[in-house]
């Protein structure tokens, strides 16, 4: 089953994934080798675990996974509730669950389960029969986990569900008035949302407007990130030769700000090549969604495409000071087990859908 699925799938998608991962391992080594090899070893272990999940998905196939989508969504909701009740606190946030010495973030997997549940729900409704009640139910599927994730708090992850919902509604062909009303309600609720933010989250948004407001506080990371990217010039300083990176000026350089390391050491040309790889990856995912004759499968691929695109655009933009720092990792490169495994699960689902498209 696995061999037949891979044989029918477009080899470009797994090839691009592997190329981006290889580039990510090179950047991660540069960003973390001063602290030892544990970050690289763990990342390799998580890639190995993600490969196991891809194999399981290809063996099970997409239709069976879609059939269990509501159960997966409900289980993920229980995990998010468990985080609030029993989660581990790190850096002032309660986002992790620990079992047997292994910690993971259920919020990263919630992106996948919400996409699967939304695709199942929207896919079962005929476009001509779409009613306000359907719109409300779809919004609740997306926003219920958002409330739990904001409680952690995790602003970046919670914000990503809104555009995923919008794109999936658009892909379904829902009346544009529903989508515009959702956008209007979000804008109207923005002032209320501001008062619900933690102080450090407000500081991040204010620092985006003026990074020099707190040059040694909330604005320090973005200032150092812009210095690192700008100092890379056209061709970069060379692997392991980035001063902002190697001299420890750049915080979070192995996670959310790892693109800054690539910009400093590989320069403008190297960064452009990396962005081009991502664009090729997104284009392949778009083709999978576009060519799917099954509505549920097409919606799933469209949701995953939106998830990856948002992570790439927001992460790169925030490292360059073009967007506020919201803590979203870049796919297949940033250090982190939960996001890496979730991303590889998403790739497995895409490969399974692509195989069905070509069957």
Question: pLDDT, tens digit, for every residue of 178-198?
Answer: 888 888 887 877 777 666 666
Question: pLDDT, tens digit, for every residue of 292-327?
Answer: 888 899 999 999 999 999 999 999 999 998 888 887
Record the tokens describing residue 2, joined without a space.
């696995």
Whether 356 contacts 65, CB under 8 Å: no
Lowest mean pLDDT, pick from 26-40, 153-167, 213-227, 271-285 = 213-227
Q: Give the mean model confidence (pLDDT) for residues 147-152.
A: 87
Phi, psi of 98 (to 5 degrees): -125, 130
Whether 53 contacts 345, CB under 8 Å: yes
Residue 254 — pLDDT band, cuts 50, 70, 90?
Answer: confident
Whether 110 contacts 346, CB under 8 Å: no
Q: In what order do the strands lie in the sheet with 88-90?
A: 88-90, 93-99, 102-104
Q: Is the pLDDT of residue 199 over 80?
A: no
Helix-helix angle 69-86:106-123, to 10 degrees: 150
Question: pLDDT, tens digit, for every residue of 327-342?
Answer: 789 999 999 899 999 9
Domain ranges for the chain: 2-358
- C-beta neighbour count of 278 within 10 angstroms: 21
pLDDT reported for residue 242: 84
pLDDT reported for residue 91: 65
Q: Is the pLDDT of residue 213 over 70?
A: no
Whether 116 contacts 65, CB under 8 Å: yes
Q: Is the pLDDT of residue 94 over 60?
A: yes
Phi, psi of 174 (to 5 degrees): -65, 145
């Amino acid at each position: 089953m696995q061999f037949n699925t891979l044989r029918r799938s477009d080899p470009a998608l797994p090839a691009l994934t592997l190329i981006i991962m290889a580039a990510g391992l090179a950047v991660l080594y540069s960003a973390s080798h001063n602290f030892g090899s544990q970050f690289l070893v763990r990342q390799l272990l998580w890639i190995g675990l993600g490969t196991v999940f891809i194999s399981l998905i290809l063996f099970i196939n997409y239709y069976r996974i879609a059939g269990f989508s509501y159960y997966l969504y409900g289980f993920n909701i229980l995990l998010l509730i468990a985080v609030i009740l029993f989660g581990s606190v790190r850096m002032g946030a309660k986002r992790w669950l620990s079992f047997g010495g292994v910690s993971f973030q259920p919020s990263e997997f919630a992106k996948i389960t919400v996409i699967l549940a939304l695709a199942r729900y929207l896919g079962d409704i005929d476009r001509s029969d779409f009613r306000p009640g359907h719109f409300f139910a779809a919004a609740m599927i997306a926003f219920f986990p958002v409330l739990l994730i904001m409680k952690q708090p995790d602003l970046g992850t919670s914000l990503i569900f809104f555009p995923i919902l919008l794109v999936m509604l658009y892909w379904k062909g829902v009346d544009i008035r529903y989508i515009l009303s959702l956008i209007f309600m979000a804008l109207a609720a923005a002032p209320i949302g501001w008062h619900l933010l933690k102080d450090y989250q407000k500081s991040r948004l204010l620092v985006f407007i003026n990074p020099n407001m707190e040059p040694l506080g909330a604005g320090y990371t973005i200032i150092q990130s812009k210095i690192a990217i700008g100092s890379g010039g056209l061709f970069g300083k060379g692997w392991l030769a980035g001063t902002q990176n190697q001299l420890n000026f750049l915080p979070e350089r192995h996670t959310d700000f790892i693109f800054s390391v690539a910009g400093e050491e590989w320069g403008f040309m190297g960064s452009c090549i990396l962005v081009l790889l991502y664009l090729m990856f997104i284009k392949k995912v778009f083709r999978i969604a576009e060519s799917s004759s099954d509505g549920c499968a097409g919606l799933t691929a469209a949701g995953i495409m939106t998830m990856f695109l948002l992570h790439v655009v927001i992460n790169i933009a925030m490292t360059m000071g073009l967007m506020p720092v919201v803590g979203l990792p870049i796919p297949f490169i940033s250090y982190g087990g939960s996001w890496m495994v979730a991303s590889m699960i998403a790739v497995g689902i895409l490969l399974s859908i692509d195989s069905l498209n070509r069957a």
